[in-house]
Structure 1
């Protein structure tokens, strides 16, 4: 038997936050649902074996044993695919459920969790197929090839997309409770690892990824636990403090945060600007996503609310 041809390592193309394309140009765009999950590149060899990689290139194949079905569905074809791993509740992504699967490295534990909290792989692009690179093909042609691969199974699907009618797609996803839309130019090539304006992500609620640089203690029933986290964003001069986030946490999230923050303490503030709060400082390694009403004139978060810990992201990935 001839050895299998090695598959290329392809980093996922990234979207730029932006507005919906205008009415005069929306016919040039496709609109996909934005899924609240963990980005995943799937490399499937001709023998059906596969490797699942995160946005940073980490191998997470053992974390999701139920996704081995992708190799069987391809029926001997080799491909590199792009998608999002989600955990569904009532047909919509639930990142809280997905968090139960993130970080699991023990195969036996992963198999147990696959039964209790199964994941689903939403596929939306194909970058390499049967030894042929597809990066230069336009989006609409890649999507046509992807739709013909038969990748619909108990744990995988290839959702459709709308051409034009961006406002209608926006309204539908808003009513259905999805995170937002991704608009992609029909003629856009696939540019690995690049945050491109050919893809735009438009969220229903303004959101911001921040780094946690400290925390303040809660009172009453949450004494000893984080009452609020101190948020920062990277700027050329360093880490800029942008405000404290104290609402939106569940009791479980506060306990989990206390455990994670306890192992990364530091003696001094990691922020370049002053913080007028009695705080416990930590190394700014943990990434959180918060929702907000916008920014104040002073560059602070307006009415921030905790959404989730981004355990799928590291500090180095925030800029890319």
Structure 2
């Protein structure tokens, strides 16, 4: 069952919804046949059990009772927050068991559980609130898995807390909703916390097809001391008119010299003098400081390139994006 992007339920309906932290990991269904074994399947249906050997002991937790659990595999950083880039070092190892075991010892994952579609029998038609209660009664809290609490009501406070703690977002689940396999349902609403910052445009990549002659993406950076650090490319967020306007400004600012230090490896890049300030929205940053899922909001002609609004945040790693 998948969530639909949206907004908080109306305040008058708040008590009819539960709220869970949106996790930045790999969604899994966990099959426990009751014989001590465990099978993990990704959203694609792929068997990924071998990638996470530290989760194998979960197979014995419920004895002979067969069950299917819904959850998310996370890799946690030093602050205990989910870090998808860390997780990428563990994903894709299902066919490399020896390497998976070594990686598990170095950087173990953690499985958070949030639904129970099957326990001895299908529970798909039971309302969420009863499935959730049944899941919590199982007491599945171990060294590499847990069942975080869900909050009923108080959605605005829950969303604010995720923002204050730098978490990815919130999932709102209607208390009376059944479990709909494979459906992106309005009974589950996901709210992603997005941030916005000012950036300097230092280059662009020509578009293709209907975008021929226009920028397909702009290459953006932020000040890191006396240099311009590349933080990613932005290829969405413009109307046709805005993209055409930007094309004129970029051509007028063209230069043969890359303004970024170090020079990013971007095929077909065209460089510009970094005098255009723009505002972008993004979900988070990678460990190398790159913007994740950026989209263009607007040009900022009210800001000069030298203004501190275009500075790289002090706690962002300042390393080459190619490392």
Bin for the TM-score computed over the shorter chain: 0.5 to 0.7
Superposed displacement of residue 242, structure 1: 6.3
Superposed displacement of residue 69, structure 1: 2.1
Q: Structure 1 residues 117, 231: CA separation in 2 closer, same or farther (over 3 Å shift)? A: farther
Q: Distance in 2 between matches of 1:30 and 1:137?
A: 15
TM-score (norm 1): 0.65
> What does 1:165-176 align with in structure 2 at a 5 Å threshold?
165-176=154-165
> What does 1:1-320 align with in structure 2 at a 5 Å threshold?
13-89=1-77, 90-104=79-93, 105-130=95-120, 132-205=121-194, 243-244=217-218, 246-247=220-221, 280=267, 290-292=293-295, 294=297
Which residue in 1 is equivalent to 2:303? none
Q: Distance in 1 between matches of 2:60 and 2:207?
A: 44
Q: Structure 1 residues 20, 74: CA separation in 2 closer, same or farther (over 3 Å shift)? A: same
Contact kept in structure 2, 1:206 and 1:292, CA below 8 Å: no
**What are structure 2's unaligned runs of at least 5 residues?**
197-201, 209-214, 223-229, 233-242, 251-265, 269-290, 300-309, 313-323
Give the 3-state SS of the residue equivalent to 1:169 in structure 2. helix
Contact kept in structure 2, 1:230 and 1:245, CA below 8 Å: no
**What are structure 1's unaligned runs of at least 5 residues?**
1-12, 208-218, 220-226, 233-240, 249-253, 258-272, 282-287, 297-302, 306-320
Q: How many residues align?
A: 232
Give the 3-state SS of the residue equivalent to 1:31 in structure 2. strand
Q: Structure 1 residues 31, 245: CA separation in 2 closer, same or farther (over 3 Å shift)? A: farther
Q: Distance in 2 between matches of 1:70 and 1:22?
A: 39
Q: Distance in 2 between matches of 1:230 and 1:23?
A: 46
Superposed displacement of residue 280, structure 1: 4.5
TM-score (norm 2): 0.64
Which residue in 2 is equivalent to 1:299? none
Give the 3-state SS of the residue equivalent to 1:112 in structure 2. helix
Q: After superposition, what is the alpha-carbon deviation per residue over 1:243-293, rounded to whole angstroms, capped at 9, x for unaligned?
A: 345459xxxxx9xx9xxxxxxxxxxxxxxx99979x848xxxxxx951346
Give the 3-state SS of the residue equivalent to 2:293 in structure 1. strand
Give the 3-state SS of the residue equivalent to 1:62 in structure 2. helix
Query: After TM superposition, which residue ranges in structure 1, 4 or more long, deviate above 4 angstroms?
Result: 227-232, 245-248, 273-277, 293-296
RMSD over aligned CA atoms reads 3.3
Q: Distance in 2 between matches of 1:176 and 1:135?
A: 33
Q: Distance in 2 between matches of 1:59 and 1:245?
A: 37
Q: After superposition, what is the alpha-carbon deviation per residue over 1:17-54, rounded to whole angstroms, capped at 9, x for unaligned?
A: 10111211111100000111010111111112111011
Superposed displacement of residue 88, structure 1: 1.0
Contact kept in structure 2, 1:229 and 1:246, CA below 8 Å: no
Q: Structure 1 residues 129, 242: CA separation in 2 closer, same or farther (over 3 Å shift)? A: farther
